[in-house]
Amino acid sequence: MENNFEEDLKKIKNLLKDEKTAKELYGALCNMRWINLKDSSQVYSCSWRYAGGIVAGLRGMGESYLDFYCSGSEGHVTPLIESLLLGIGWGPFPYDDIE
C-alpha cells in the first residue's frame, strides 16, 4: 500500500491559512515520524526543507519552503497539531521510541 500521509494532509489544509497553525504543522513534521494508525507499517518522515515545501504547498499562497524553514519548534508537536493529525489517522512516532 502506498504511503498517503501527504494526501491525507489535504484534509486539514483549510486550517493552515492561519500562519501560526501552519508553522506548528511545519515544526511537527520536522524531526518526527508519523505512523498510520490503521496500518503501522506506514511510517512517514521528511526533511526540514521538504516539510516547509509541504506546508507552503498546502497553503496555496505563493510561498516557498523558505517561508517556514527554520521558523522554530522543529520536532515539537503541539496539542492542536497532534489532534488534527490523529483525526486524519496519523500519530506521532518520535525517534526516541526506536527499540
What ranges do the domains of the chain cover?
A: 5-90
Closest CA to 17 of 67, 52, 61: 61
Is 24's pLDDT higher than 70? yes
Identify the band that residue 3 occupies on the pLDDT scale cut at 50, 70 and 90.
Answer: low
Confidence of residue 72 (pLDDT cuts 50, 70, 90): confident
Give me the mean pLDDT over the 17-46 stretch: 96
Average pLDDT, the chain: 93
In Å, how far are 3, 35, 87 from 47, measured between CA atoms?
A: 16, 16, 23
